[in-house]
Amino acid sequence: MTNLDQTTWFTEVSDRDGSAFSLRINKKLEEKQSPFQKVEMYETTDFGNLMIIDGCTMVTTRENFFYHEMISHPALYSHTNPKNVVIIGGGDCGTLREVLKHPAVETVHQIDIDAVVTEMALKYFPELCESNNDPRATVMFDDGIKFMADAAPESIDIIIVDGTDPVGPGEGLFNHAFYTSCLKALRSGGILVQQSESPLMHMPLLVEMRDAMQDVGFADLQTLPFPQPIYPSGLWSVTLARKDENFAGFREHDANSANFDTEYYNTGIHLGALATPNFMKRAFNK
């Protein structure tokens, strides 16, 4: 058995999951302790640049498209007319870039608590930040929980919660109070979409999150699994929660005729992700 030398490998040890994941590195690029979290940047040998927040792998150049496309396009193509979008978290700006590919979108507010994440992204993932200066985009640094609590009622079409795991500053993005604020701020037909961890490793958390969304009054939930090579287990998910029954379903025709490029997302992927695997169905129906 080969032991991984810490000077040439970055390893995220996930104690809660009994697993670990390593990427081979050339060098550490930078490290900053912000008031909220420790942000580290590495250059890897095969995955491009790597961002770590509080010891957890967040983004690499090579594979971030799975996550950023799946947290954006299924929700945007499931809303009849997504004009006003809010992203909570998302400081690496990859989700913002995907959302702005949709011509129907008129405004996007991105609220990340930590300016250091965006500072690092601008430096080491410039391609993710290429739409930051789009006139429809507003990039803000504030607590997303407070932003949603203060949001005007019925003012948003889609809320995307692209946050960290439910520890540290991201903890309050998974509870009843936050979901109540989101429900109130959404217009009729609106959708809340949130990264919902690994269905394989974190099912109790996923079920708790879905229950909380339903408890506060969201009408319909869909959890879409997708591959996420650098996160624990390699299987991740997003959960879409609809404000009410006023929705048209997947705009498949529009998705088919999209005039922008994606690496992973297409109509077949979207339809496939709507098919819930049996182990997930069982857990959700308990």
What is the separation, in whole angstroms, between the first and last Cα of the chain?
Answer: 41
Site for ligand SAM in 52-111 (CB under 6 A): 58-59, 64, 67, 88-92, 94, 111
Find all residues with CB under 8 Å of 259, minimum gap 6, and list them: none
Give the whole-angstrom CA distance, residue 280 versus residue 50: 30
Element (H, E) at 41: strand 38-44
CB of 221 to ligand SAM, least distance (A): 20
Kindly compute the dihedral angle of the four CA atoms of residues 113, 119, 122, 124, in this order, to the nearest 10 degrees. -110
Only one of the segments 158-166, 198-206, 249-257, 278-286 lies at the binding site for ligand SAM (rule: CB under 6 A); that segment is 158-166
Give the whole-angstrom CA distance, residue 142 versus residue 178: 15
Site for ligand SAM in 22-51 (CB under 6 A): none
Cβ proximity to ligand SAM: between 103 and 227 the closer is 227
192 interacts with ligand SAM by CB under 6 A: no
Q: Draw the binding track, 162-181, toward ligand SAM (x: CB under 6 A; -: no contact).
A: xxx----xx-xx--------
Tell me the pairing of strands 235-242 and 186-195. antiparallel
Interface with ligand SAM (CB under 6 A), residue from 69, 98, 114, 157? 114
Two tokens at 47?
A: 């995955």
Chain-centre distance for alpha carbon 171 = 15
**Residue 169 in marked binding region:** yes
CB of 210 to ligand SAM, least distance (A): 19
Q: Is 211 a catalytic residue?
A: no
Two tokens at 142?
A: 């504030």
Q: Do residues 164 and 88 lie in contact, with contact meaning Cβ atoms separated by under 8 Å?
A: no
Residue 166 DSSP SS3: coil
In DSSP terms, 56 is beta-bridged to 53
Residue 257: phi, psi to the nearest 5? -105, 20
Cβ proximity to ligand SAM: between 247 and 264 the closer is 264
Only one of the segments 76-84, 112-120, 200-208, 245-253 lies at the binding site for ligand SAM (rule: CB under 6 A); that segment is 112-120
Kindly compute the dihedral angle of the four CA atoms of residues 168, 174, 179, 185, in this order, to the nearest 10 degrees. 50
Interface with ligand SAM (CB under 6 A), residue from 112, 120, 210, 255? 112
**Residue 68 in marked binding region:** yes
Active-site residue among 46, 134, 150, 162? 162
**Residue 37 in marked binding region:** yes
Residues forming contacts to ligand SAM in the complex (CB under 6 A) are 58-59, 64, 67, 88-92, 94, 111-114, 117, 143-145, 162-164, 169-170, 172-173
Q: Which residues are annotated as a binding site for S-methyl-5'-thioadenosine?
A: 37, 112, 143-144, 169
Q: Which residues are annotated as a binding site for spermidine?
A: 68, 92
Active-site residue list: 162
